[in-house]
């Protein structure tokens, strides 16, 4: 059987579920075992940071996600200037939750005071309930 020209080839490669594999209704025991991640992560930057312009800066942070959780979250660091404008967005990738972590980068910002904002979304799609923030002073 040939597929119409409008169908993509990737949709043809997916196996179709047979009616035997699709449960009509899960038993009470099966429903009790399922744990759905509905809790939102909380991001924390525990210390204010300070560095010289052009130097490397190590930033400590933590993502707290209550159980049941995915165990990982996609993290992004935003650096805001004194007027509140985002001057730099640094994607930190997918990081483990409930673990102290650090990130090191070269601080090429000009002298001044900045605000660090840490955003996270766990792999279930829940965005943080509280944005972690702290100060950054570039000398």
pLDDT of residue 34: 65
Question: For residue 64, what are its two tokens?
Answer: 């707290």
CATH class (in words) of the domain with range 42-138: mainly beta
pLDDT of residue 23: 52
Answer for the pair 97, 63: CB distance below 8 angstroms, yes or no.
Answer: yes
**What's the CA gap between 43 and 47, in Å, rounded?**
13
Quick: pLDDT tens for 59-79: 999 999 998 888 999 999 999
Q: What average pLDDT does the structure give for the chain?
A: 85
Segments making up each domain of the chain, as ranges: 42-138
């Amino acid at each position: 059987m040939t597929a119409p020209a409008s169908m993509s080839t990737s949709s043809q490669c997916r196996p179709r579920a047979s009616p035997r594999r699709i449960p009509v209704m899960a038993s009470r025991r099966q429903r009790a075992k399922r744990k759905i991640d509905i809790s939102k992560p909380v991001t924390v930057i525990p210390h204010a940071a300070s560095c010289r312009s052009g130097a490397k800066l190590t930033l400590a942070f933590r993502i707290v996600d209550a159980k049941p959780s995915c165990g990982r979250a996609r993290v992004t660091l935003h650096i805001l200037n004194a007027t509140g404008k985002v001057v730099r967005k640094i994607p930190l990738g997918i990081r483990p939750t409930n673990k102290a972590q650090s990130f090191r980068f070269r601080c090429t910002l000009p002298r001044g005071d900045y605000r660090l904002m840490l955003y996270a979304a766990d792999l279930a799609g829940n965005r943080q309930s509280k944005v972690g923030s702290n100060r950054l002073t570039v000398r």
